[in-house]
Chains A and B, each alone.
Chain A
Amino acid sequence: GQSLEQPSEVTAVEGAIVQINCTYQTSGFYGLSWYQQHDGGAPTFLSYNGLDGLEETGRFSSFLSRSDSYGYLLLQELQMKDSASYFCAVFNNNDMRFGAGTRLTVKP
């Protein structure tokens, strides 16, 4: 079957660095995306990895290893506004599959 696994919850303090891991089992894999969703809001796109390696966008970076079916989202210099749920998602064969989400709580 197809599945994505990510931790359900992560807690960190303001200014720290946190890594959210995602492992996947899927066929026809094209790439790994990350989305952020604040409570009561809609998911918003953060990043995409189509190739192995690190992609950096400001304080956020995302990494992919196709051979390990593994990726992560790295959030640096955490701010209170980063408290949200983060979803990894796989785009394959024209459909999208999301992980169950990781709820990040940033504490002062």
Chain B
Amino acid sequence: EAQVTQNPRYLITVTGKKLTVTCSQNMNHEYMSWYRQDPGLGLRQIYYSMNVEVTDKGDVPEGYKVSRKEKRNFPLILESPSPNQTSLYFCASSGTPKTYEQYFGPGTRLTVT
């Protein structure tokens, strides 16, 4: 089954404790992206990757890191999480040329206390 998977689905952590949210897709998509969703703000892009070893900042990259060492994986790293990073996070992927048709993972609800 074609899908995007994220882990963990739920995470409660404390300020400053480094964490990684994994994202994997099995559709051989070139484009991958991370979003955060907050009430009233819609989806905001954090980082995106056009292909392996190619990443770029989205709208709200501060406090986040990503890497794209393999085509299928695109982990999101919070080196020192803060309470304002409490949010619902989605990973998405898409293939060329239909890069606009993104497939989303199930989401990761993160709470930072």
Contacts and interface: CB of A to CB of B under 8 A. Distances in A.
Interface of A: 8, 30-31, 33, 35, 41-45, 48, 50, 87, 89, 91, 94-101
Contact of B44 (A8, A91, A98): A98
B100 A95 contact: no
B101 A96 contact: no
Contacts of A33: 100-101
Specify which of B43, B50, B56, B106 lies most central, judged by the most chain A CB atoms within 10 Å of its CB: B43
Contacts, number: 58
B45 A96 contact: yes
B30 to A, nearest CB: 11
B1 interface: no
Contacts of B100: 30-31, 33, 48, 50, 89, 91, 96
A41 B59 CA distance: 23
A85 to B, nearest CB: 9
Interface of B: 33, 35, 40-45, 48, 50, 56, 58-59, 90, 92, 98-107
B43 A43 contact: yes
Contacts of B106: 41-42
Contacts of A31: 100
B42 A96 contact: no
A100 B102 contact: no
A35 B45 CA distance: 15
Contacts of B105: 42
A58 to B, nearest CB: 16
Contacts of B58: 95-96
B90 A99 contact: no
A94 B56 contact: yes
A98 to B, nearest CB: 4
A74 B41 CA distance: 23
A96 B40 contact: no
